[in-house]
Chain A
Amino acid sequence: MDAKLARFAFALLITLLYLFLLAPIIVVLVISFDTRQYLAFPPESLSFGSYAKVFANVKFISAFWRSLGIGLFVGLVSIFAGLLLSLALSRHDFRGKGAINFLILAPFLVPHIVLAVGVMLVLGPLGLLDSYSGIFLAHLGITTPYTVRTITMSLMAVDRRIEEAARVHGASPAMVLWRITLPLVRPGLIAGAVIAFLISFDEATISLFIVSVKSSTLPTEIYHYLEYSTDPQIAALSVILILISVGVVVVVERLIGLRKAL
Chain B
Amino acid sequence: MADHHLEIDNLVKTYPGALKPSVDRVSLSLPRGEMLALLGPSGCGKTTILRMIAGLIPVTAGEIRLDGRGISAIPVHKRNMGMVFQAYALFPHMTVAENIGFGLEMRGVGKAERTERVLKALDLVKLSGYGERRVSQLSGGQQQRAAIARSLVIEPALLLFDEPLSNLDAKLRDEMRDEIRDIQNRTGVTSIFVTHDQDEALSMADRLAVMSEGRLEQIGTPRQIFDRPRTDFVASFIGAGSFLTGTVVAPGRADVPGLGILHFTGDVPAGGKARFLVRPHRFVLGEGVNAFSGVVEHVVYRGQILTIAVRAGDHRLQADLPTHAATLPAKGDRVTLSVAPDDVTLVGEAA
B102 at the binding interface (Cβ < 8 Å): yes
Are A170 and B56 touching (Cβ within 8 A)?
A: no
A159 at the binding interface (Cβ < 8 Å): yes
Are B102 and A168 touching (Cβ within 8 A)?
A: no
Are B89 and A162 touching (Cβ within 8 A)?
A: yes
- A168-B81, A169-B106, A171-B102 known; A180+B91 contact, CB < 8 A: yes
Question: Which residues of chain B are within 8 angstroms of A179 by Cβ–Cβ distance?
Answer: 102
How close is B126's CB to chain A, nearest CB, in angstroms? 21
Q: Which one, A159, A168, A184, contacts B87 given CB within 8 A?
A: A159
- A170-B154, A171-B102, A171-B106 known; A165+B76 contact, CB < 8 A: no
Are A169 and B154 touching (Cβ within 8 A)?
A: yes
Question: Which residues of chain B are within 8 angstroms of A159 by Cβ–Cβ distance?
Answer: 87, 89
Question: Which residues of chain B are within 8 angstroms of A168 by Cβ–Cβ distance?
Answer: 54-56, 76-77, 79, 81-83
Whose C-beta in chain B lies nearest to the C-beta of A175? B106
A224 to B93, alpha carbons, bound, how many Å?
49
Question: Which residues of chain A are within 8 angstroms of B76 by Cβ–Cβ distance?
Answer: 167-168
Question: Which residues of chain A are within 8 angstroms of B83 by Cβ–Cβ distance?
Answer: 164-165, 168-169
Question: Which residues of chain A are within 8 angstroms of B151 by Cβ–Cβ distance?
Answer: 169
How close is B150's CB to chain A, nearest CB, in angstroms? 7
| Cβ proximity bits A163-205 to B, threshold 8 Å, 1 near / 0 not | 0111111111101000110011000000000000000000000
B103 at the binding interface (Cβ < 8 Å): yes
Question: Which residues of chain A are within 8 angstroms of B85 by Cβ–Cβ distance?
Answer: 161, 164-165
Q: Is the interface of A mostly helix, strand, loop or mixed?
A: helix
- A164-B56, A165-B83 known; A170+B107 contact, CB < 8 A: yes
Are B89 and A161 touching (Cβ within 8 A)?
A: yes
A183 to B80, alpha carbons, bound, how many Å?
24
How close is A134's CB to chain B, nearest CB, in angstroms? 39
B92 at the binding interface (Cβ < 8 Å): yes
Determine which residue in B77, B78, B82, B83 has the highest number of CB atoms from chain A within 10 A of its CB, and name it: B77
Question: Which residues of chain A are within 8 angstroms of B54 by Cβ–Cβ distance?
Answer: 168
Whose C-beta in chain B lies nearest to the C-beta of A182? B93
Question: Which residues of chain B are within 8 angstroms of A171 by Cβ–Cβ distance?
Answer: 77, 102, 106
A171 to B79, alpha carbons, bound, how many Å?
11
How close is A198's CB to chain B, nearest CB, in angstroms? 27
Are B89 and A170 touching (Cβ within 8 A)?
A: no
Q: Which one, B87, B91, B93, B103, contacts A170 given CB within 8 A?
A: B103
Are B56 and A169 touching (Cβ within 8 A)?
A: no
Mark out the residues of chain A between 51 and 70 whose CB falls within 8 Å of any chain B CB in the assembled complex. none
A184 to B77, alpha carbons, bound, how many Å?
20
A166 to B75, alpha carbons, bound, how many Å?
13
Question: Which residues of chain B are within 8 angstroms of A167 by Cβ–Cβ distance?
Answer: 56, 76-77
| Cβ proximity bits A133-176 to B, threshold 8 Å, 1 near / 0 not | 00000000000000000000000000101101111111111010
A184 to B89, alpha carbons, bound, how many Å?
13
| Cβ proximity bits B92-118 to A, threshold 8 Å, 1 near / 0 not | 110000000011001100000000000
Question: Which residues of chain B are within 8 angstroms of A170 by Cβ–Cβ distance?
Answer: 77-78, 80, 102-103, 106-107, 154
Are A165 and B91 touching (Cβ within 8 A)?
A: yes
Question: Which residues of chain A are within 8 angstroms of B89 by Cβ–Cβ distance?
Answer: 159, 161-162, 164-165
Question: Which residues of chain A are within 8 angstroms of B80 by Cβ–Cβ distance?
Answer: 170
How close is A93's CB to chain B, nearest CB, in angstroms? 10
Question: Which residues of chain A are within 8 angstroms of B78 by Cβ–Cβ distance?
Answer: 170
A183 to B95, alpha carbons, bound, how many Å?
14
How close is B327's CB to chain A, nearest CB, in angstroms? 55
Q: B residues touching A (Cβ–Cβ < 8 Å)?
A: 54-56, 75-83, 85, 87, 89-93, 102-103, 106-107, 150-151, 154
Q: A residues touching B (Cβ–Cβ < 8 Å)?
A: 159, 161-162, 164-173, 175, 179-180, 183-184
Given contacts A169-B102, A170-B78, A170-B102, 13 further A-B contacts (CB under 8 A): A159-B87, A159-B89, A161-B85, A166-B102, A167-B56, A168-B54, A168-B77, A168-B79, A170-B103, A171-B77, A171-B106, A175-B77, A180-B91
Task: Jot down 15 A-B pairs with beta carbons below 8 A, ordered by A.
Answer: A159-B87, A161-B89, A162-B89, A164-B85, A164-B89, A168-B54, A168-B76, A168-B77, A169-B82, A169-B103, A169-B106, A170-B106, A173-B77, A175-B106, A179-B102
